[in-house]
Amino acid sequence: MMGAFLAGFGLGGSLIVAIGAQNAFVIRQGVLNQYVFWICLFCSFSDAALIWGGTFGLSAVLKVLPQLEAVMRYGGAAFLLWYGLKALRRAFNPEAMAEGESGTQSLKDALLLCAAFTWLNPHVYLDAVVLVGSIANARPTGEQAPFALGASAASFVWFFGLGYGAKALRGPLSRPMVWRLIDFVIAAIMFWLALRLVLGG
């Protein structure tokens, strides 16, 4: 069983480390020191829910409703484009960091943004649901739960490490020029991911 857990942990970790919209948002919240625990917890539990759903049957539902993929793709692309424009505007605004630190964003708003980054991304369903679920179900009987547990544990380790790592580096990362660069990078990631979604990549 430990072998199945470690295999799941390795697969989950290899899939989640790619810098995408969700990871960029977690880094930003860490640098801003806003709701870091709750954002990391939400991302971790969301990943776990998708992984366990894929392991125990959700991938079959997605195959029955292929039109759902198109809805998520274009809806996700529109959202990423909107957020990318916001990041680009912040990057050109010399008061961007001060505004971000003012605390005007509520926990509810932060979690809603996080939910959009997580659940409107079709790639998360391909990775966490279809890929992890398929590999989990290809393992010997009885190893599905430990495998899913290992993949879920990788998400918890990654998101909390990413969020609190960004928070620990908040000093050097909060300098105006560095923060502008972060927002430029976030905008580029959002635009690239939106383009890939529209093109079906």
Question: Taking residues 158-178, what's their average pLDDT?
Answer: 87
Answer whether residue 8 shows pLDDT above 90.
no
| 116-137 residue pLDDT tens | 888 887 777 777 777 787 778 7
pLDDT at 110: 92
Please tell me the distance from the alpha carbon of residue 134 to that of residue 186, in angstroms, as a whole number.
Answer: 31
pLDDT at 201: 52
CA dihedral of residues 17, 184, 165, 133 (deg, nearest 10) = -20
Reduced to 3 states (helix: H, G, I; strand: E, B; else coil), residue 1 is: coil
